[in-house]
Structures are given as C-alpha cells and as structure tokens.
C-alpha cells in the first residue's frame, strides 16, 4: 500500500504503508536505539508523536508482548527505512508489521530516514502527517501544518490508569502518580521491595495522604510538563513534607513544583547511549532517555536548597537534581531501562533508599 509522510516544512516522502486507510498527525521525533523497538512503540511517553527509528532495519527479532511497556502502541505512527518481514527469535510471537496492523497504527517504510533525521536535527522537531489510502500530498501536508503543537496537547489523561491499585511488598510505602508510567518502572520499584500505591494522574494530595506514604513518586509520561498542572500541585503539596522522587517527566514536574522552570529542547533526547556525568564525582555513565523537554538549570535561585546533580555530557542539559533539605531525588533519564551497564540503576535505587530514610546523599 502506498503511504505519504508530510512534514510541516513542506517536505513530502512517499513510501510503503502498513495499516488501515486513514490519516494521523503528530510531532515527528527520532530515536537512535538499535534495539528496543517493542519498548519504544509501547512507551506512553510517545503519545502524540510519530516515531522515527534511525536504525535502518526494525523488527528482526519479532514481537514479544512480555517486553511491552504498556498494553498497546502509543506512538501515532511509525517511520522506518525497512521493516523486517522474516523475524527470527525463539520468543517471537508475531512480526512488527502484524503488530502495527492489529493495533490500528500506521507505518511507513522505504523512505530516507537519514534525511529526515538530519532535517529534525537542523530544524528541530516538527509536526507531520502520515496517511495511507485515498489522500493526496497536499491534504497530508495541510493536515501537518494545521496539527496542534505538542505543548498545546493535554496527553496525560489518555495514558494514565483510571483507578488506583496496589502492588504489595514488605518495604517502604511509595505513592506513585501514574502520568503514563512504564511497566519497567513499576517492576523495578516492586523488585526493590517497595510497597506501591499507584494513583491516576488526577488524584488529589489528600487522597494520596490516606495511604500514609513514605515517599511520593512521579512517573514518566508524554507532552509538556507544564500541562500536568495537577501533578505540579501535588509536588507543591508534599514539598518538604514527604520525599519527592521523579523520573523523566516526573523529574520535570518535581522541579516545577519546587520553583524551577522547564523549556522545550530542539529535538530531544531519545535513545540508549546518552552520556550523563555526576557533577560531584565526575563519573560518566551511559543512560536510556526519552524526552523533549528539560529543566532550566538557571531557574533555581541560590537559596532554593536544590542542586543540579547530573548533566548531559553532550549538551550540558540537566539530568538530575537533589536536595537533602527537601528530600528530593530526580533524574531525567531512565535508570530502570539500563542499556547494558547497570551502574545508573544501582546508584539511583541506592540514593532512593537514602532519601526515604532521610539520610544525606553523597
């Protein structure tokens, strides 16, 4: 089937389509991961976005739902150079093309993904349209140009759980605000023994207080953190009262609640090979990341008692903050999604236990 990908700058790509006849729009972004396409497609943080894989062949080890980060695909569309139609892995249940069709998602292949990636790096993330069926190039381009910007979308309510639930363990009690949480985060917290009370995005601070948590955890999720107004209010509600922990979007929300600010990155960080440096130790470790917004390091005043603890080696953006005074620990990357090395995971969970026990961080 023929497919059309149109980017708001006027560029048109024609390729091979997968999926039912329709048109979707979203912010087109790229990930540099060579593996992990199952995890990326089902990551709720990609809601509202058309996901481009820079690695030229996607789908070679098939699909295994045990690797899913949610129950279904959240990316609005998928762009690749080539889909592998003959996957080979003993745990594979289907091909990636079969998954895309079954999920009523759109995919396009047979186009120059390198050209699109360079365009995004030069011009920044842009709106795009992807269509299969009886559409012409002008229709798809006009749809891209008229699509809402990612900062105008309220996406968290579409990916959060609907009702609270508990994953019972014997450790300290953590109230988790689900803003589009990945299964790997829930699993890592539970595997480390924490007793989890997981709440929908629109829960109030008073409702969370009822479980008498030892700490409040803010999850990853899609879109502009400033749209997560209720989550920011919860961060303010518990600031200085309970330890606050955040990953990715949760990191940004805790910083907003503590008086900081955020801004949109030109094209974001998405991949498994992003180097992060700990400011105190100068130690560098490789991290997995997926975000299009960042915390403004200069938005905390000298008396805020909040310090930037980690930075991105490539562009010096904030990768983590901490505060012994407020008991805050946040990271921009995903320590639970270790891309081989597990040093970032160990350090994060060691520090998490110290924050909850109100021990001073090194």
Are 318 and 219 contained in the same domain? yes
Contact 4, 21 (CB under 8 A): no
Classified as helix, coil or strand, 146 is helix
Instruction: Tell me, yes or no, if 291 is annotated catalytic.
Output: no
Cα separation, 228 vs 249, whole angstroms: 9
- Give the torsion through C-alpha atoms of 301, 305, 306, 310, to 10 deg: 100
What is the overall mean pLDDT for the chain?
95
Q: Is residue 53 part of a domain?
A: yes
Summarised one tens digit per residue, pLDDT across range 122-149 is 999 999 999 999 999 999 999 999 999 9
Shared-domain flag, residues 247 and 211? yes
Mark whether 72 is an active-site residue.
no
Q: Are 116 and 170 found together in one domain?
A: no
Give domain status of residue 72, yes or no.
Answer: yes
pTM for the predicted model, two decimal places? 0.96
User: Is pLDDT above 70 for 274?
Assistant: yes
Q: How many structural domains does the chain have? A: 2
Q: How confident is the model at residue 341 (pLDDT cuts 50, 70, 90)?
A: confident
Is the confidence at residue 44, as pLDDT, over 70? Answer: yes
pLDDT at 360: 75
Residue 93 sits in the same domain as residue 66: yes
What pLDDT was estimated at residue 80?
Answer: 98
> pLDDT above 90 covers what percent of the chain?
93
Contacts of 322 (CB under 8 A, 6+ apart): 306, 307, 309, 328, 329, 330, 351, 355, 361
Q: For residue 362, is it within any domain?
A: no
User: Are 334 and 231 in the same domain?
Assistant: yes
Mean per-residue pLDDT for 314-319?
97
Confirm if 145 and 127 have CB atoms less than 8 A apart: yes
Select which of 8, 76, 248, 255 is catalytic. 248
Query: What per-residue confidence (pLDDT) applies to 327?
Result: 95
Measure the CA–CA gap between 31 and 233, rounded to whole angstroms: 31
Q: Using an 8 Å Cβ cutoff, are 16 and 3 in contact?
A: yes
Percentage of the chain modeled with pLDDT above 70: 99
CATH of the domain at 307: 3.40.50.880
Residue 361 lies in a domain: no
Rounded to whole angstroms, how far apart are CA atoms 134 and 70? Answer: 32
Domain span including residue 33: 2-148
Average pLDDT for 286-295: 96
Indicate if 9 and 112 belong to the same structural domain. Answer: yes
Cβ contacts of 61 within 8 Å, gap of 6 or more: 35, 87, 88, 89, 92
Kindly state whether residues 207 and 345 are assigned to the same domain.
yes
Instruction: Indicate if 130 and 52 belong to the same structural domain.
Output: yes
Given the residues 76, 97, 272, 336, select the one marked as catalytic: 336
Q: Are 108 and 79 in contact (CB under 8 A)?
A: yes
**343 within domain boundaries:** yes
Same domain flag for 35 and 182: no
pLDDT in tens, 348-357: 999 999 999 9
Indicate if 254 and 140 belong to the same structural domain.
no
Q: How far apart are CA 142 and CA 6, in angstroms?
A: 9
The confidence score (pLDDT) of residue 89 equals: 96
Q: Which pLDDT score is estimated for 362?
A: 67
Quote the CA–CA distance of 308 and 328 in Å, as a whole number: 11
Is there a single domain that holds both residue 162 and residue 137?
no
Tell me what pLDDT residue 301 has: 83
Inside any domain, residue 26: yes
Residue ending a domain, choose from 80, 115, 148 = 148
**Domain C-terminal end among 148, 180, 199:** 148
Cα separation, 42 vs 149, in Å, equals 22
**Is residue 206 domain-shared with residue 320, that is, in the same domain?**
yes
Q: Is residue 279 part of a domain?
A: yes
Residues 281-286: what's their mean pLDDT?
Answer: 93
Cβ distance 298 to 267 under 8 Å? no
Other CB atoms within a 10 A radius of the CB of residue 330 amount to: 28
pLDDT value of position 338: 72
The residue among 148, 174, 198 that closes a domain is 148
Whether 326 is covered by a domain: the verdict is yes
334 is catalytic: yes
User: What's the confidence (pLDDT) of residue 343?
Assistant: 80
CATH code where residue 51 lies:
3.50.30.20
Q: How far apart are CA 228 and CA 222, in angstroms?
A: 10
Rounded to the nearest 10 degrees, the angle between the axes of helix 229-238 and helix 249-257 is: 60
The answer on pLDDT for 73 being more than 90 is yes
Q: How far apart are CA 186 and CA 183, in angstroms?
A: 5
The answer to whether 41 and 18 are in contact (CB under 8 A) is no
Residue 242 pLDDT greater than 90, yes or no: yes
pLDDT of residue 303: 80
Q: Where are the alpha helices (DSSP H) in 133-277?
A: 137-146, 183-191, 205-209, 229-238, 249-257
How confident is the model at residue 147, as a pLDDT?
98
Summarised one tens digit per residue, pLDDT across range 166-189 is 999 999 999 999 999 999 999 999
pLDDT confidence bin for 43, thresholds 50/70/90 = very high
């Amino acid at each position: 089937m023929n497919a059309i990908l149109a980017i708001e700058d006027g560029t048109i790509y024609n390729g091979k389509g997968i999926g039912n006849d329709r048109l979707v729009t979203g912010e087109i972004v790229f990930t540099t991961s060579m593996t992990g396409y199952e995890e990326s497609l089902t990551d709720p943080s990609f809601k509202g976005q058309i996901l481009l894989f820079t690695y030229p062949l996607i789908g070679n080890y098939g699909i295994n739902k045990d690797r899913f980060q949610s129950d279904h695909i959240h990316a609005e569309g998928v762009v690749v150079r080539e889909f592998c139609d003959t996957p080979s892995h003993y745990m594979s249940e289907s091909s990636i093309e079969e998954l895309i069709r079954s999920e009523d998602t759109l995919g396009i292949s047979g186009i120059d993904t390198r050209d699109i990636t360079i365009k995004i790096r030069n011009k920044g993330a842009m709106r795009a349209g992807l269509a299969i069926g009886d559409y012409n190039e002008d229709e798809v381009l006009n749809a891209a140009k008229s699509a809402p910007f990612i900062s105008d979308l309220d996406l968290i309510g579409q990916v959060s759980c609907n009702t609270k639930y508990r994953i019972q363990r014997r450790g300290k009690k953590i109230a988790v605000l689900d803003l589009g949480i990945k299964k790997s985060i829930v699993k890592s917290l539970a595997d480390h023994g924490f007793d989890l009370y997981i709440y929908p995005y629109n829960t109030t601070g008073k409702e969370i207080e009822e479980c008498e948590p030892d700490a409040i955890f803010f999850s990853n999720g899609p879109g502009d953190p400033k749209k997560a107004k209720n989550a920011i209010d919860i961060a303010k509600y518990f600031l200085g009262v309970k330890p606050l922990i955040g990953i990715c979007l949760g990191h940004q929300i805790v910083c907003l609640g503590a008086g900081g600010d955020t801004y949109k990155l030109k094209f974001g960080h998405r991949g498994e090979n992003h180097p992060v440096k700990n400011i105190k130790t100068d130690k560098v470790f490789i991290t997995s990341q997926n975000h299009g917004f960042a915390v403004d390091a200069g938005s905390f005043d000298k008396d805020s008692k909040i310090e930037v603890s980690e930075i991105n080696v490539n562009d010096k953006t904030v990768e983590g903050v901490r505060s012994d005074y407020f008991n805050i620990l946040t990271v921009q990357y995903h320590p639970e999604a270790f891309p081989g090395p597990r040093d970032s995971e160990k350090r994060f969970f060691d520090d998490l236990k110290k924050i909850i026990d109100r021990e001073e961080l090194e």
